[in-house]
Every structure is written in structure tokens, then in C-alpha cells.
Amino acid sequence: MTAVKTITATAFGDTYANAVGALPGANESWIDGLRKTSRALLGTQGVPGPKTEAWKYTSLNQIAKTPFIPASTADDVDVPLLPVTVPLLDGALKIVFVNGVYRSDLSDKLEDLGAGITLSPFADVLKSSPGSLKDVLGAVMEPAQSFTAAMNTGFMEQGTVLHLSNGAKLEQPIQILSIGASGSSPGAFHPRFEIVLEEGAQATVVECHVGLPGQAYLSNAATEIILGERAALRHYTIVSEDSDAFHLGRTAVSVEQNAQYESFVLSLGGHLVRREVQVRLEGDGAATTVDGAYGLSGNQHSDVFSEILHLAPDTESKQTVKGVLGGDSRGVFQGRIHVARTAQRTDGRQLHKALLLNRGPEVDCKPELEIYADDVQCAHGATTGEMNPEHIFYLLSRGIDEKTARALLVEGFLDDVILNVADEPVRNLILDLVKTWLARQRILSIGEL
């Protein structure tokens, strides 16, 4: 127990909090209160360990032991230009953050997005019109529910607020780029993205988390999404952090009547990546797709933690997550589908499939169904296995050498779920990223590909 306290104190306790200093919106008592409550949770609950069900398979020890400084205070980090390694979506409106700090010089102009549409830096909104966030901030991203959310809410500083009024349609996709880079000290940052689509509004948002090589950094991002009736959001998250980086990210979504939340999370980089998603299907006929793919090598650790809450009748959720694991990597999938008593005629499907490239990796998979309604269709499944030798033979029998055959099959394994991405340019971007990742694994000759 003492160990846990020390850990909390050094990582996100007083030292860190003092260094963070006054944050935007601190003079608004409700915002200040939200941050303080969240930090208090970190203090009282400490860093969750294996006894906490949600953190059973993912250890926060390494993060807790690292003496992070607030990344925005590092004076020895200079990122003058957008790194060439950053995946860019053609035609998207870019909004760029380096170590959690908004970079207008690297971003596109956040104007003229169309009638009823605003995209603003989060800090600006906290300072100039905090009231506009009163019903939004913390409405679905509940600090008490998640360590990741509590840490982000306790230290949130910069980010974006995207707001679409009734019926507004965003033609151009928005690409949020969060770039991590540490100087001599490991830095932590806590970007906050708020997305509100009022009735019938439509938008596409791509969130990219990338980083530069160097000291480890901690990217602790939170995206809070509120979708009004018949609104439709396509939300794609690409995590391609630096190989030494930590990423603890959470998306929390509320989906009203007949609204649709389509999402995909691609996770390739990072030393330890935990992606949490909570989708609350609040209104009749609300629907969601929460797919994902990940690729791991070396000693990478990836954790997908998902909660889909069916809280109204005739709601639908589909989730397929596929992972490829090599080296001595570790993959975790914890998925819960909850169906409330009133959520009759729910259709909920969940599938996790892991492909092991050798004997090194380990997969922990815990799917959970919690059903209180009686008229529902729910199914979940999980498979973990090696490559099918019959598939390999089929390709060999066409003259394709074994290395190429295995690479094709690995790519196909992931592509299979990526093909669900409805937005074609994003789908192609993700397919390309996977191709590049695979090529790099082969060049590094990880051995098993």
C-alpha cells in the first residue's frame, strides 16, 4: 500500500500538480471543481493495480515509476515542422498539438467550416465561453469510472471543441494530430477533445496520436462525444506513438435516438497503449460500430477496454477487434456489453480475434455480457491462434514464397476488419499504415513474418 502512495505522489501527485500550475478555466468554479475532484480520485484511489478488474492485465507500474514533467513546460523540445512520419489524410482540415499544446502555425485555419459549425481550441473556450461547455464537459467522460478519464480531467489543458448545430453537415473531415516529443525529461500531456453534434448533424473526425523518438512520454488523451438525435459521427483513431511511449486514451460517447457512432481504432506503435471506449446507446434506435485493429511486436503491450451500454430499445452495436502479435508482446481485450432492462430488441455483437506470429506473445481476452432485457440478440466470441497452415499452403501452391505468403496473410487478417471502415479515404490511409508497419517488421526482420 505504501508503495502505491509513493507511486501516485511522484507521478501525478503534488509535485506534478504544482508544476502544472494554473490551467485555463481555473477561475470557473465548476471547472476547477471538476479538475480537483478528479485529482482527488487519483490521490485516494491511487494507481490501480491487478486487483482492480479493469486493470487486471495491464500494469501501470512503469508509468507510475516515471518522474514525468508536464510536457508543455519542457524547454528543450523543438518541433518546428510537422514531422514527415505523421500520417496525413488528404483534404482534411488539420489541427495540430505538440505535447498537448495547440500549434496554430502547424494547423489549418479553423474558420469557414460551414453554417452552424465551429472548431475551437479547448483552452480558448475554457477562457472565453466556459458556459458553453457546462452541459458537455464531464457529461459522459466520468472521472470516477476510469483512471484514464480521471487523470485527463484532472490535468486537461488544451485540445479542441467541435460543435455542429442542428442539421449541420461537415463536408471536410477534421484531422486532429497529437504529437508527443520528450526532451531530457519524460513529459506527460492530457489533451481533451470535445465533440458535440446536435440533431441530424454529420461529421468525420480522425484523431492521430503520434510521436518522435527520444525519451518516453505519456499521452493521456480523452475524447468526449455527444450525439443528438439522428446525428452521425465517423470517428477514427490512429495510435502510432513512438516505440518508447505510453498512451492512455479514452473515448466516451453518448448516442441519442437514431443517431450513429461509427468508430475504428488502429493501434500500431507505442510501448504501452491502452485504449478505452465507452459507448452509451441512450436513445431508441441508436447504433454503433466500434471496430479496431492492432499490431504488436517486440515487448509492446496493447489493451483494448470497451464498454457498450444498451440503455434504450432497438439499439445495435457491432464490434470486431483484430490483433496481430509478434515478439514477446502482450495483447489485452476486455469487452463488456451491457443491456439494460428497458433495452428490448437489442442487437449486440462482439468479436476479438488474435493472430499469434510465434510462441512469444500472450493474449488475455475477457468478453462479458450483462443482459437484463429478455428480448435481445447478443453474441460474443474470441479466438486466439496461429496462422492457418492450409492458408499458407494455398499461397505457396501458387508460387508465392513463404515469407511473402505469411506477410500477405497477416495483412489480410487485419485488412478484413479495416474494410469495415466506411470512409474510403480513411480506409485507404489505414490500409497503407498497416502495409508500412508490416514492411517495417519485415525489414527489421522480427523473424516471424
Partner 1 sequence: MSLIEIKDLHVSVDGKEILKGIDLNMDGGEIHAIMGPNGTGKSTLSYVLAGKDGYEITQGSVLFDGKNLLDMEADERARAGVFLAFQYPMEIPGVATATFLKTALNAKRREQGLDEIDAMDFLNLIKSKTKELEIPYEMIKRPLNVGFSGGEKKRAEVLQMSLLEPRFAILDETDSGLDIDALKVVSDGVNALRSPDRAFLIITHYQRLLSYIVPDHVHVLVGGRIVESGDKTLAELLEAEGYARFEESEAA
Residue span binding partner 1 (CB under 8 A) among the ranges 56-64, 202-210, 334-342, 394-402: 394-402
Residue 302: strand, helix, or coil: strand
Q: Which is nearer to partner 1, 7 or 414 (CB)?
A: 414
Q: Which residue blocks in 83-227 are alpha helix, DSSP H?
A: 122-128, 147-155
What x/- string results for residues 340 through 379 when contact with partner 1 is judged by CB under 8 A?
----------------------------------------
Q: Does 393 bind partner 1 (CB under 8 A)?
A: yes
Binding-site member from 44, 399, 424, 445 for partner 1 (CB under 8 A)? 399
95 close to 108: Cβ distance less than 8 angstroms: yes
> Of these, 144, 416, 432, 440, which contacts partner 1 (CB under 8 A)?
416
The correct pick among 77, 181, 409, 438 for binding partner 1 (CB under 8 A) is 409
Report how far residue 166's alpha carbon sits from residue 41's, in angstroms, rounded to the nearest whole number: 36
CB of 309 to partner 1, least distance (A): 30
Cα separations in angstroms, 389 against 75, 386, 392, 402, 406: 53, 9, 5, 11, 10
Nearer to partner 1, 134 or 403 (CB): 403
Query: Are the C-beta atoms of 75 and 37 separated by less than 8 Å?
Result: no
State in angstroms the smallest separation of the CB of 259 from partner 1. Answer: 30
Q: What grid cell was written down for 228?
A: 443528438
Cell numbers given for 406: 505469411
Q: Which is nearer to partner 1, 109 or 398 (CB)?
A: 398
Does 383 participate in binding partner 1 (rule CB under 8 A)? no
Pairing state of beta strands 376-386 and 232-240?
unpaired
Cα distance between residue 26 and residue 30, in whole Å = 9
Q: Would you count residue 394 as binding partner 1 (CB under 8 A)?
A: yes
Distance CA 300, CA 387 (A): 20
Contact 187, 216 (CB under 8 A): no
Please list the residues that pair with 278 across neighbouring strands.
252, 307
Q: How far is the CB of 388 from partner 1 (least distance, A)?
A: 8
Footprint (CB under 8 A) of partner 1, residues 104-143: none
Q: Which of 179, 340, 414, 426 binds partner 1 (CB under 8 A)?
A: 414
Distance of alpha carbon 365 from alpha carbon 354, whole angstroms: 9
Which one, 15 or 404, has the nearer CB to partner 1?
Answer: 404
**Is residue 424 close enough to count as binding partner 1 by CB under 8 A?**
no
| The one segment of 22-30, 44-52, 306-314, 398-406 that binds partner 1 by CB under 8 A | 398-406
CB of 211 to partner 1, least distance (A): 28
Q: Which of 4, 79, 408, 446 binds partner 1 (CB under 8 A)?
A: 408
φ, ψ for residue 221, nearest 5 deg:
-100, 150
449 binds partner 1 (CB under 8 A): no
Interaction between residue 390 and partner 1 (CB under 8 A): yes
Q: Backbone phi, then psi, for 439, in 5-degree steps?
A: -60, -40
User: Which part of the chain contacts partner 1 (CB under 8 A), choosing from 156-164, 258-266, 334-342, 395-403?
Assistant: 395-403
Residues in Cβ contact with 398 at an 8 Å cutoff, skipping those fewer than 6 apart: none
Say if residues 416 and 322 touch (Cβ distance below 8 Å): yes
Contact 346, 312 (CB under 8 A): no
Q: Which residues contact 263 (CB under 8 A, 6 or more apart)?
A: 234, 235, 236, 237, 251, 253, 277, 288, 289, 290, 291
Chain center to CA of 93: 20
Quick check: 415 binds partner 1 (CB under 8 A)? Answer: yes
The conformation of residue 169, written as its DSSP 8-state character, comes to B
Phi, psi of 437 (to 5 degrees): -60, -45
- Of 88, 396, 422, 446, the one binding partner 1 (CB under 8 A) is 396
Q: Which stretch binds partner 1 (CB under 8 A): 16-24, 58-66, 197-205, 413-421?
A: 413-421
Nearer to partner 1, 97 or 413 (CB): 413
Per CB under 8 A, the list member of 369, 400, 422, 446 interacting with partner 1 is 400
Report the residue number, 77 or 418, with the smaller CB distance to partner 1.
Answer: 418
* Complex with partner 1: residue 262 or 411, whichever CB lies closer: 411
- Check binding of 405 to partner 1 (CB under 8 A): yes
Task: Closer to partner 1 by CB, 145 or 420: give it.
Answer: 420
- 147 contributes a contact to partner 1 by CB under 8 A: no
Distance CA 334, CA 194 (A): 25
Residues of this chain that interact with partner 1 (CB under 8 A) are: 389-391, 393-402, 404-405, 408-409, 411-419
